[in-house]
Amino acid sequence: MLLKTFGWSLAVTAVGLALAGFLWGWQGLAVVAILSVLEISLSFDNAVINAGILRKMNAFWQRIFLTVGILIAVFGMRLVFPVVIVAITAKLSPVEAVRVALQDHDRYEQLVTAAHPAIAAFGGVFLLMIFLDFIFEDRDIRWLGWLEKPLAKLGKLETLSTVVALVALLIAATTLATAVPVHGGEGTIDKATTVLLAGIGGLVTYLVVGGISDFFENRLEEQEEEAEEEQAGPAAKSGASVVGLAGKAAFFMFLYLEVIDASFSFDGVIGAFAITNDIFQMALGLGIGAMYIRSLTVFLVRKGTLDDYVYLEHGAHYAIGALAVILLITIKYEISDVITGLIGVVLIGLSFLSSVVRNRKEAAAGEGSGPKAEVPSGV
C-alpha cells in the first residue's frame, strides 16, 4: 500500500536529487532537499484538507488529481505562477518577466518579494474563508466543544463568514498594508489599495469556485437519493444523469482543490527565497515536496484515516485558520517558516492524539456495555 501510493513520489525524489546534484553539485542537491522538506512541513495540513474533499470523488478523479493536478502544482504554481505575478505587479511583458526570472535572480527575488502583500492578501482571505465556513458549521462531531458549539450557533447567520473575512481584510489593509517595508529595509510603502483588491479577489474566487462545487455536489446527492427510490427502469435512466452530474461536481471540486493548493503554496514560494533565488532549484525542491503531499492525500483517502481519526479535519482547519492569519500579518511583518510549519504540525498532532483517546474510550465503552456506546464528542 505504501509503495503503491508513494512510489511515484520516491521515484521523482531520486531523479530530482540526482538532477540537482548533476546540475548544481552537492550544494544544489542540499538546497533542493531542504526545499522539499520545507514544502512538506508547511503543507501537511493541506493534505488533510485535500483528503476530506478527494474522498468524495471517484477513482478516476483521484488519478486526475495525482497526474494533471501534480503538473499544475509543480509547473503551474511553483514555476509559472511566480513569473506571472512578477509580470503583473511589475508591469513587465511576459517575455521580460521570464528573462528576469532566468537571468537576473536578485531582481526576480526583489519583484516577488514586492508582490508579497497582494499574494498574502489573496491567499489569506481565501484560506480564512475555508476556516470560517468550517468553524461556523453545526457538526455532530466537535473537537473543542466549548468553542465550536457557540460558534456553530453564530453560524446560523449565513453571511457571517463573509462579513468576518471582510472585516479582517479591512483591518489588514488599514493597519498592516499602510506601512509595508521596502525590500532592503529602506523606508515603507502604502499597499492598502493593492491588499484590498487582492483580498476581495481571494474572497470572490472562494465564493465562485466553492459555490459551484457545492451546487453540483448537492445536485448529485439529490439525484442519488431519487435513483434509490425509483423502479429499475427509471433508476437506470436516472443513473445516467447521476454520472453526468458526478463529472461536473468532481470537475469543480478539482478546481477547488487546485485553488486551495495555490493558496497553500504562497508561503512556500516566498519562504524558498530565504534558501535560494534560483527559480529552477525552487521549482524542483518545492515540486518534490508537492508530490509527497499529493501522495499523502491519496493515502489518507484510501486508508480511511479521516473516518478513523475524526478530529484530524478539525486540527487541519485550525491550522488553516492560523496560516490565514499569519499570511495577513506577513503583509508587514516577517514570520519564520519554522513557526508557520510548527503551528500546523502541533495542531494536527493534538487533533490526532485527541482522536486516539476518543477511539479508546469508545472501545472501552463498547466492551463494558455490549453494543457500542455513544460517547459525547468534544471536550
pLDDT in tens, 115-125: 888 888 988 89
Check pLDDT > 90 for residue 196: yes
CA distance 255 to 231: 35
Higher pLDDT, 77 or 9: 9
Check pLDDT > 80 for residue 177: yes
Higher pLDDT, 202 or 86: 202
When pLDDT is cut at 50, 70 and 90, the band that residue 171 belongs to is very high
The answer to which of 71-80, 120-129, 135-144, 218-227 has the lowest mean pLDDT is 218-227
When pLDDT is cut at 50, 70 and 90, the band that residue 241 belongs to is very low
- Chain mean pLDDT for the chain: 80
Check pLDDT > 90 for residue 113: no
Q: What interhelical angle do 337-369 and 232-272 show, nearest 10?
A: 140
- Residue-wise pLDDT tens digits, 202-224: 899 888 877 777 776 676 666 66
Task: List own/partner pairs for 218-227 with CB under 8 A and 24 or more apart.
Answer: 219/245, 219/249, 220/245, 220/246, 220/249
pTM of the model: 0.76
Instruction: Answer yes or no: are the C-beta atoms of 365 and 372 closer than 8 Å.
Output: yes
Question: What are the CA-CA distances from residue 310 to residues 119, 313, 346 (Å)?
Answer: 32, 7, 16
Cross-strand pairs, 181: 188
- Residue-wise pLDDT tens digits, 325-343: 998 998 888 887 778 778 8
Higher pLDDT, 331 or 182: 331
- Residue-wise pLDDT tens digits, 269-315: 766 776 777 888 888 888 888 888 888 888 888 888 878 888 888 98
- Give one word for 231, left, alpha or beta, with left for phi > 0 and alpha for psi -120 to 50: beta
- Establish how many alpha carbons lie within 13 A of residue 18's alpha carbon, considering only the half-sphere containing its beta carbon: 6
Q: Comparing C-alpha atoms, which of 41, 1, 8, 35 is closest to residue 341?
A: 41
The structural domains of the chain, with segments of one domain joined by +, span 2-369
Q: Where are the alpha helices (DSSP H) in the chain?
A: 2-54, 59-71, 81-89, 94-103, 105-114, 116-135, 145-154, 160-171, 192-229, 232-272, 279-303, 305-308, 312-329, 337-369
Q: Comparing C-alpha atoms, which of 100, 168, 79, 127 is closest to residue 261?
A: 127
pLDDT confidence of residue 279: 81
pLDDT confidence of residue 51: 83
Encoded amino acid at 147, one letter:
L
